[in-house]
Amino acid sequence: MEAHQLDTLTRPMRGGVTQQELSRAKNQLKSSLVMALESRSVEVEDLGRQTQIHGHKVPVEEMCEKIDQVTLEDIHRTATRVLRPSEDSKAAPVNYGLGSGQPTIVVQGKLDGLHDIADVLKQWGLGKGGVVPKAWIS
């Protein structure tokens, strides 16, 4: 169930993201970043984006260092802020688009047997006002 997978991102639990998976993901991201910058057009696009956002070009070494600094706690905190905004009492809700704050679900393929998405999300405590599930917490 997809809601269970989203739930495991927000807390350390059996079946959640492991340190080994995080290390693999960081290595994959750094590899993709370095390989993508071998293309001149991607490098120029990246230079333009970074100049707009940061006002200067960020060296690839600095980007890789920042990627290496990401922890499992960072992932859980960020996922909680996005997927369980009512549980993250330390952070103000992020709503740059000034929308409703309700989760948006995109489904592709046959919709037969698809349950009410709002009910599924509430069952797992995801989205605004969800109920915290009885989960295996290590």
Question: Is 130 domain-assigned?
Answer: no
> Rounded to an integer, what distance in angstroms lies between the CA atom of residue 16 and that of residue 12?
6
Question: Is 86 domain-assigned?
Answer: yes
Q: Give 17-41 pLDDT, tens digit per residue.
A: 889 999 999 999 999 999 988 888 8
pLDDT at position 15 over 60: yes
Question: Is 27 domain-assigned?
Answer: yes
> Rounded to an integer, what distance in angstroms lies between the CA atom of residue 120 and that of residue 107?
14
Total domains in the fold of the chain: 1
Question: Which candidate, 18, 43, 30, places its Cα nearest to that of 69?
Answer: 30
At residue 63 the predicted structure's pLDDT band, cuts being 50, 70 and 90, is: very high
Of residues 23 and 49, more confidence is placed in 23
Q: Give 66-105 pLDDT, tens digit per residue.
A: 999 999 989 888 888 777 766 555 655 555 665 665 666 6
- Give me the domain span that covers residue 76: 2-123
Q: Give 94-125 pLDDT, tens digit per residue.
A: 556 656 656 666 677 777 766 676 677 777 66
Question: Is 134 domain-assigned?
Answer: no
Q: Which pLDDT belongs to residue 93? A: 56
Question: Is 137 domain-assigned?
Answer: no
Q: Which pLDDT belongs to residue 132? A: 43
CATH number of domain containing 25: 3.30.830.10
Question: Is 135 domain-assigned?
Answer: no
Question: Is 136 domain-assigned?
Answer: no
Question: Is 128 domain-assigned?
Answer: no
- With 0-12 / 13-18 / 19 or more C-beta atoms within 10 angstroms meaning exposed / middle / buried, residue 120 is middle
At residue 137 the predicted structure's pLDDT band, cuts being 50, 70 and 90, is: very low
